[in-house]
Amino acid sequence: MRVLIYARSGLEVILADLEAGGFFGELAPIDGHSRSASVLAMSEAVIATMPGEVFLEVLHDHPDVSMYVLKLFAARIRALGNRVLEYSTLDVRQRICCELLHLAKSDPKDARRSILSPAPTQAEIAARVSTHREAVAREMKALEREEFLQRRRDAIILGHAFKSDRWEECVQMPAKMARSAPRPSSGPPNGGWP
C-alpha cells in the first residue's frame, strides 16, 4: 500500500509504503478532520476496516495500543523533521542519492553493494524527493556515468563508491529512528499512516 498526497497542481508526493500488517486512517478519528492522505494498493491486498469510534474506544481501553500509536506518531514526526531538513539543506542530486540509500537493501552476494529490486521508476523517486521526473532522469544518468550506480533491467545497483562516507549522513537519522520505532510483541510490523 502506498500512502501519498497530491498537490493542487497534480504533483504526487509519496509519504510511505506500507507492508502487510500496516494500517492507515487513524488521524481522522483522533482529530475529527478529513483524511490527510490517499492510499493506493500497489498489488493485490486484503483490507479490513474499523469505525473511528471503535478505534477511539480501543485507544481508551488499551493503554498498550495507545502507547504504540503515540510512539508511531513520534517516529513520524522525527521522520518528517528529517525530510524537512533534507529538503532545506540538500540539492536534488543529494536528495535522490539519500532516497536511493533509504530504499536499498544490502546485496547478499557483495557487502560493498546495495540493490533496489524491483527498481523504483523515475516518477516514483521524483515523488519521494520533491522534484520532477526529468531531474531524476538527468541525475541518474550522471550517477551512472560516474559509476556510482548501475541500472539493470529491474534493479538499481549501488556500488561501493555510492555507499562511502559522503552519503553516510543520509542514512544515519532514519536508521536511528528505525531502531527507536515502536515494536510491540504483537501488532503490525511497520505501523500505520494517516
Average pLDDT for residues 25-35, to the nearest whole number?
Answer: 90
Tell me the pLDDT of the chain averaged across its residues.
82
- Do 8 and 51 fall within a single domain? yes
Average pLDDT for residues 3-8, to the nearest whole number?
Answer: 88
CA-to-CA separations, 128 to 4, 29, 42, 80, in angstroms, rounded: 9, 27, 16, 12
Report yes or no: 155 and 116 within 8 Å, Cβ to Cβ.
Answer: yes
Q: Which residue has the higher pLDDT, 193 or 94?
A: 94
- Do 6 and 53 fall within a single domain? yes
- Do 105 and 150 fall within a single domain? yes
- Do 33 and 77 fall within a single domain? yes
Q: What is the pLDDT of residue 178?
A: 42
Give the sign of the dihedral formed by CA 92, CA 24, CA 78, CA 183: negative
Count the domains in the chain: 2
End-to-end CA distance of the chain: 12
User: DSSP of 147-177, one letter per residue?
Assistant: TSEEEETTEEEE-TTTTSHHHHHHHHHHHHH
Q: What is the pLDDT of residue 169?
A: 56
- CATH for 113: 1.10.10.10
- Is a pLDDT exceeding 50 seen at residue 185? no
Average pLDDT for residues 94-108, to the nearest whole number?
Answer: 89
Instruction: Report the relative pairing of strands 149-152 and 155-158 from DSSP bridges.
Output: antiparallel
pLDDT category at 190 given cuts 50, 70, 90 is very low
- Do 123 and 103 fall within a single domain? yes
Q: Give the rounded percent of residues in the chain with a pLDDT score beyond 70.
A: 82
- Do 12 and 69 fall within a single domain? yes
Instruction: Report the relative pairing of strands 12-17 and 149-152 from DSSP bridges.
Output: unpaired
Q: What is the pLDDT of residue 160?
A: 73
Q: What is the pLDDT of residue 168?
A: 56
Report yes or no: 17 and 2 within 8 Å, Cβ to Cβ.
Answer: yes
Domain that holds residue 63: 2-87+177-193
Q: Give the rounded percent of residues in the chain with a pLDDT score beyond 90.
A: 37
Q: What is the pLDDT of residue 29?
A: 93
- For 35-75, write each residue's pLDDT tens digit: 889 999 988 989 999 999 999 999 999 999 999 999 989 98
